[in-house]
Amino acid sequence: MQPGTRAPARGATSRRATSPWVLMAPSTIVYALVLLAPIASVVALSLQGFDFGRGILPRWDLANYVDLATDPLFHEVLARTFRVAAIVTAICLAIGVPEAWIMHRMAPRWRGLMLLVVLGPLLVSVVVRTFGWMVLLGSNGLVNQALEAIGVPGAPFRMMFTEFAIVLGLVHVMVPLVVLTVWASLGRLDPALGRAAESLGAATFTVFRRVVLPNIMPGVLGGALMVFCLSASAFATPAMLGGRRLKVVASMAYNEFLNTLNWPLGAAIATLLLAAILLATLLWTRFVERRALRRLGVAA
């Protein structure tokens, strides 16, 4: 603390105080333009009215939201969306976490190959992937043919246009996301921890459950959140594998925009979906993630 160094130090501080803002400005502007502005205009649109003969009405009220709040169909669709998302998330965790752990323990030359296999679904276009499932799951499809050939009673089963098909299609593409996030956590895990547990007599499964799993929890929870959000807002897979009968919120919004042309109602549906997902995310980080991290001693 010499007097001579003070003045330049203060200059550096003020520069240090403004430079984060200056540096952030480009990305802030981009986000404001490509993310916030569209969302704001969707919300604004959701407050307007619609008439089949006259188009969008210049009216500002909450009529669309009142409509949806009292609409049993919307309740059913909302419940289905979140039920499917929850089931998909659970299954993805059950498959993805052990998968990442097993791959992590593989010999390095196999690891790269297996990672490519796991990422495969992400490399295929959603339309092709979904058409593939349509071919497999149809009542004359390969799965049913196989089941009939081995004499499973009750075959052929009805699989296309069911929630089962939607869940299957979504799990197929979402598992890699869990594997990747867990993989990243495993990379940060000190291998000595596992060996220490083993040297103290823990079996492999106990090591996984008591040592590895708590440490990779941030990855597991982050992956779960990602899968949940993407499943809840998924459009193409539910629309193609579930058909028009099994609507989800995203396909309902699509219908209002492109078929009924009732954009304001579609915007209201989209806004509610966004709000519901945001709420689920906040609750998740608030109650589940923070608690898990606190157990790890990461967060205060």
Partner 1 sequence: MRKLWLAALAAMAVAAPAAAQQRLVVAAYGGSYERIMREAAIPEFERANNVRVDYLAGNSSDSLARLQAQRGRQEIGVVLLDDGPMAQAIALGFCQRVADREALDSLYPIAVMGEGRALGTGFGFTGIAYNSELFRQRGLAPPQSWADLGRPEFRRRLAVPGIDNTYGVHTLVMMARINGGGEREIAPGFRAMRERVNPNVLAYESSPGKMSELFQSGEIWLAVWGSSRVAAMKEAGFPLEIVRPREGAVVLMTATCAVEGAPNSDLAQKFVAHLVSPAVQAAFAAQYGSGPTNRHVQLPPDIAGRVIYGEAQVRELVSLDWTAINASRTEWTRRWQREVER
Task: Give the interface with partner 1 as residue ranges (CB under 8 A).
Answer: 52-56, 72-73, 131, 134-135, 138-141, 158, 160-161, 240, 243-245, 247, 255, 257-263
Nearer to partner 1 by Cβ, of 121 and 243: the residue is 243
Closest of 61, 40, 38, 28 to residue 265, by C-alpha: 61
User: How far apart are CB 59 and partner 1 at their closest, in Å?
Assistant: 16
Nearer to partner 1 by Cβ, of 54 and 109: the residue is 54
Nearer to partner 1 by Cβ, of 136 and 189: the residue is 136
Partnered with residue 50 across adjacent β-strands are: 56
Closest of 158, 203, 165, 212 to residue 185, by C-alpha: 212
User: How far apart are CB 257 and partner 1 at their closest, in Å?
Assistant: 7
User: How far apart are CB 42 and partner 1 at their closest, in Å?
Assistant: 13
How many residues are there in the chain? 300
User: How far apart are CB 145 and partner 1 at their closest, in Å?
Assistant: 11
Report how far apart, in Å, the C-alpha atoms of 55 and of each of 163, 247, 267 are: 35, 25, 14
User: How far apart are CB 148 and partner 1 at their closest, in Å?
Assistant: 14
Distance between CA 170 and CA 24 in Å, rounded?
Answer: 36
Distance between CA 103 and CA 149 in Å, rounded?
Answer: 34
Helix (H, G, I), strand (E, B) or coil at 51: strand
Nearer to partner 1 by Cβ, of 16 and 245: the residue is 245
Distance between CA 172 and CA 96 in Å, rounded?
Answer: 11
Nearer to partner 1 by Cβ, of 102 and 135: the residue is 135
Nearer to partner 1 by Cβ, of 127 and 193: the residue is 127
Distance between CA 89 and CA 34 in Å, rounded?
Answer: 29
User: How far apart are CB 181 and partner 1 at their closest, in Å?
Assistant: 34
User: How far apart are CB 193 and partner 1 at their closest, in Å?
Assistant: 52
Structure tokens at 162: 């069911």
Nearer to partner 1 by Cβ, of 204 and 260: the residue is 260
Distance between CA 55 and CA 123 in Å, rounded?
Answer: 40
| 249: Cβ contacts below 8 Å, ≥ 6 apart | 77, 78, 81, 232, 233, 269, 272, 273, 276
Partnered with residue 51 across adjacent β-strands are: 55
